[in-house]
Structure 1
Amino acid sequence: LRWDMLDPRWMPNTTRFTESAQVFTDHYSNGNATKPGIFTLFYGLPASYWDAFSAHQVPPVLIQRMQSLGYQSQILSSATLVSPAFDRNVFSSIKELRLKTPGDTSWQRDQQITQDWLDFLDRRSSHDNASPFFGFLFYDAPHSYQVPPDYPRIEPYWESVNQLALDDDFDPEPYFNVYKTTVRFVDDQIHRVLADLSKRQLMEDTLVIITSDHGQEFNDNGMNYWGHGSNFSRYQLQVPLVIHWPGKAPSVVEHRTEHFDLAPTLLTDVLGCSESATESYSSGEHLYTPHDKKWSIAHSYMNSAFLTEELQLVSYPSGGMEMLSTQLQPIDDAPLPMELIKRALKEQSRFYP
């Protein structure tokens, strides 16, 4: 879900929900694909640690802390949790984790996880369960460009998406409208979840966070990039972040934030951890506090990037490197910010023994 979809034309329910929430207008994922996007969101660490955490099946501090406090977890994903293998890292400590949701299409599975969530809250209610809960609902229709056959289309609409037909001369509007239609469909599912929480009077003491693993590009850079996982521009990294936080007034947060920041913020402000200890388990800062950090790290499935406001230094598995502007134009003669690069390299390895 790219950041500019938070618009009443495409997400009317979620946009209305922002009236009682904090909206982060300059928020970025630390990955341009699902694997690094979800990993960085939960761990607050660069995706360079993926292999180590997966090999030892060590869950994030965030989930470990919730489990130690007796949180009941309900993990519902329309996409499989075995590829990428979130069952071996992010959710490795969740008992009876459902790896695949029934359904032939992503939209059927999206509807299913919504219903499963409502059923979960029904069961809690019938047992008068007073324990805290954590839910994760991962919708997938915008990833696969599928909606029900009778769902209203945003026109003009590309009925049969064929990605082999894409090139730099392809008119993106019908394809982009397919994406917008799937976003609106997921917005309907979000509405069902939010309306149910309100009906149960749970909104008064429940944090609700709406964000995404990565963005989606439709040749916005004019360089024949489509989808995600192919570059580190804002179209593939910038995502919405909306937080309904009981006790906090609705607001617009304009300073830059990133996925690294979510876990340490929740751990210190909700789950009782020391704010001074966040550096011992995370690369992030506090979401609500502006900071002067001038660099970031983002990963794809294979390559990674050191990012500043002026440039991108992209590293490839072959050992090659490329310096680009934020508009993806090659830069040949800009001075490298060596001190910042050293800090970024250290951040990708400082938790190894």
Structure 2
Amino acid sequence: RPDHLGLYGYARDTSPNLDAWSKSAVVFDQAYAQAPNTPRSMPSILTGRYPSRIAWTKRFSNYSDLAPEEKTAFEVFQGAGWRTEAVTSHWYFENKAPSLKEGVDAWDNAGFLTIKESNTQSAAPDLTPRVVARLDALKDSEQPFFLFAHYFDPHSRYMQQTSVRTYGKSLMDKYDSEIAFTDHHLKAVLDKLDEPGLREDTIVVILSDHGEAFKEHGFYFHGRTVYNEEIKVPLMVRVPDVEPKRIDDVVGLIDVLPTLAALTGVEAPRALGRSLLPWFSGIGEVPPAPVFLEQLPYPNYEEHVVGVVGPDRVKVIKNVTKNVIEVFDLKADPGETTNLLDRDEDAAKALRETLLRFIDADPGE
């Protein structure tokens, strides 16, 4: 969650290393994942497509896999002649979505490979040296590289990370401890990326694929709603020779692949997001656009919820299963506590119609 990081204004000192690093990056203050759980969000990020617009082998599944026609960032960059690698420590990447490994020259997924292990073990201390080793191996190659690294620790179930920092006994306290723990272990990677041979010609993107709920709207954890606590995320991009800045416009993680493609001259023809290149090149403007958010039904939770955030930060949510619509002004009400439809039945009428058209265009299974 961005609101649990110092660079986004959190009072607790959970992220000193990310905070310092972000001062050299373009930081997006209104970034949204397209889904509130990894099995939908990660494929969306890697394809640049909304979850409902992705071709799945089986859509109604806890761990949907991509159909052959979908191309991930790995395949896009490998097809352009880049070396593609991934370093992870998570059972999801081991066998839940095998299509994500298409186009990857080397995928290192050591560490805990079962759900039970992920509830009792920490991955960051093992993951960081593996990431650093790959950066060392890749930095002097004539071939450009695309490296994906995934940290899992700030995730339920949360553990007290006494070796770094603790805050208390509540679930949120433990979540913050996990964030501080991950930030601590990220430092070696961030330091490596600042070394000669990497700093001057490496684009770095840091993001989260979903947030986490602490009963703000009745749920714990994630994968249930499209309220901000589950779906608003940090997004930082550092590009060589680009001045750091803060961007307050609404963007989606669906925009990451098109932006990387534009920055590197690679083509990503199936991506549906926007290129955010003008904010890095200083040439032209990024046209404002709504960003859609989707909780697609799956066996563990069958409600269908879709949302949209407009450029003016008005948000509309429709629970398709229950036929309930909510409208929030995120500037005045970032906690989404006051449904404006209770006061004005015409609130955000145009944005509501935009959302309904998006839902109606869903190709379904």
In the superposition, the TM-score normalised over structure 2's length comes to 0.77
Counterpart in the other structure of 2:186? 190
Q: Secondary structure at the match of 2:19?
A: helix
Counterpart in the other structure of 1:322? 324
CA deviation map 1:268-310 (0-9, x unaligned) = 221333xxxx7x5222122334433245232345323032424
- Asked if 2 retains the 8 angstrom alpha-carbon contact of 1:29 and 1:238, the reply is yes
Which amino acid letter does the alignment assign opposite residue 141 of structure 1? Answer: D
Counterpart in the other structure of 2:22? 18
- Asked if 2 retains the 8 angstrom alpha-carbon contact of 1:61 and 1:281, the reply is no
Is 2:76 the partner of 1:77?
no
**Compared CA separation, residues 313 and 265, structure 1 to 2 (3 A):** same
Counterpart in the other structure of 2:282? none
Which amino acid letter does the alignment assign opposite residue 126 of structure 2? Answer: Q
Q: CA RMSD in A?
A: 3.0
Which amino acid letter does the alignment assign opposite residue 67 of structure 2? Answer: H
Question: In terms of mean alpha carbon deviation, does 116-125 or 15-24 score higher?
Answer: 116-125
Query: Which residue, out of 191, 201, 208, partners 1:212?
Result: 208
Q: Any residues of structure 2 matched to 1:333-344 within 5 Å, and which?
A: 334-335=345-346, 337=350, 339-341=353-355, 343-344=357-358
Counterpart in the other structure of 2:131? 117
- Asked if 2 retains the 8 angstrom alpha-carbon contact of 1:299 and 1:305, the reply is yes
**Distance in 2, Cα, partners of 1:325 & 1:343:** 16
Counterpart in the other structure of 2:62? none
Return the offset for 1:228.
1.1
CA deviation map 1:4-48 (0-9, x unaligned) = 122061110001011111000011111111112212211111112
Counterpart in the other structure of 2:333? none
Which amino acid letter does the alignment assign opposite residue 326 of structure 2? Answer: L
**Distance in 2, Cα, partners of 1:36 & 1:84:** 15
Counterpart in the other structure of 2:41? 37
Query: Which residue, out of 84, 87, 91, partners 2:101?
Result: 91
**Distance in 1, Cα, partners of 2:200 & 2:129:** 22
Counterpart in the other structure of 1:281? 270
Is 2:252 the partner of 1:258?
yes
Return the offset for 1:343.
4.1
**Compared CA separation, residues 152 and 197, structure 1 to 2 (3 A):** closer
- Asked if 1 retains the 8 angstrom alpha-carbon contact of 2:165 and 2:181, the reply is no
Where structure 1 has 5 or more consecutive residues not aligned to the other structure, the ranges are 159-173
**Distance in 1, Cα, partners of 2:21 & 2:66:** 40
How much identity, in percent, do the aligned residues show?
20
**Compared CA separation, residues 264 and 349, structure 1 to 2 (3 A):** farther
Return the offset for 1:214.
0.4
**Distance in 1, Cα, partners of 2:361 & 2:203:** 29
Return the offset for 1:247.
2.0
Return the offset for 1:64.
2.2
- Asked if 2 retains the 8 angstrom alpha-carbon contact of 1:207 and 1:246, the reply is yes
**Distance in 1, Cα, partners of 2:187 & 2:104:** 27
Counterpart in the other structure of 1:169? none
Q: Secondary structure at the match of 1:60?
A: coil
**Distance in 1, Cα, partners of 2:161 & 2:235:** 30
**Distance in 2, Cα, partners of 1:151 & 1:296:** 39
Counterpart in the other structure of 1:270? 264
CA deviation map 1:207-230 (0-9, x unaligned) = 1111001011222x3x43211112
Return the offset for 1:79.
1.8
**Distance in 2, Cα, partners of 1:95 & 1:19:** 32
Question: In terms of mean alpha carbon deviation, does 207-216 or 75-84 score higher?
Answer: 75-84
CA deviation map 1:113-150 (0-9, x unaligned) = 2111122233346xx52211111111111113455764
**Compared CA separation, residues 25 and 84, structure 1 to 2 (3 A):** farther
**Distance in 1, Cα, partners of 2:24 & 2:106:** 34
Counterpart in the other structure of 1:165? none
**Compared CA separation, residues 99 and 191, structure 1 to 2 (3 A):** closer
Return the offset for 1:154.
2.5
Which amino acid letter does the alignment assign opposite residue 287 of structure 2? Answer: H
**Distance in 1, Cα, partners of 2:92 & 2:184:** 23
CA deviation map 1:91-118 (0-9, x unaligned) = 3332453455358557542222211112
Aligned length: 321
Which amino acid letter does the alignment assign opposite residue 193 of structure 1? Answer: V
**Distance in 2, Cα, partners of 1:293 & 1:217:** 26
**Compared CA separation, residues 347 and 195, structure 1 to 2 (3 A):** farther
Is 2:316 the partner of 1:311?
yes
- Asked if 2 retains the 8 angstrom alpha-carbon contact of 1:35 and 1:301, the reply is no
Counterpart in the other structure of 2:293? 297
Is 2:198 the partner of 1:202?
yes
Which amino acid letter does the alignment assign opposite residue 80 of structure 2? Answer: L
**Distance in 1, Cα, partners of 2:94 & 2:338:** 33
In the superposition, the TM-score normalised over structure 1's length comes to 0.80
- Asked if 2 retains the 8 angstrom alpha-carbon contact of 1:154 and 1:181, the reply is yes
Which amino acid letter does the alignment assign opposite residue 81 of structure 1? Answer: Y
- Asked if 2 retains the 8 angstrom alpha-carbon contact of 1:314 and 1:323, the reply is yes
Q: Secondary structure at the match of 1:210?
A: strand
**Distance in 2, Cα, partners of 1:40 & 1:130:** 30
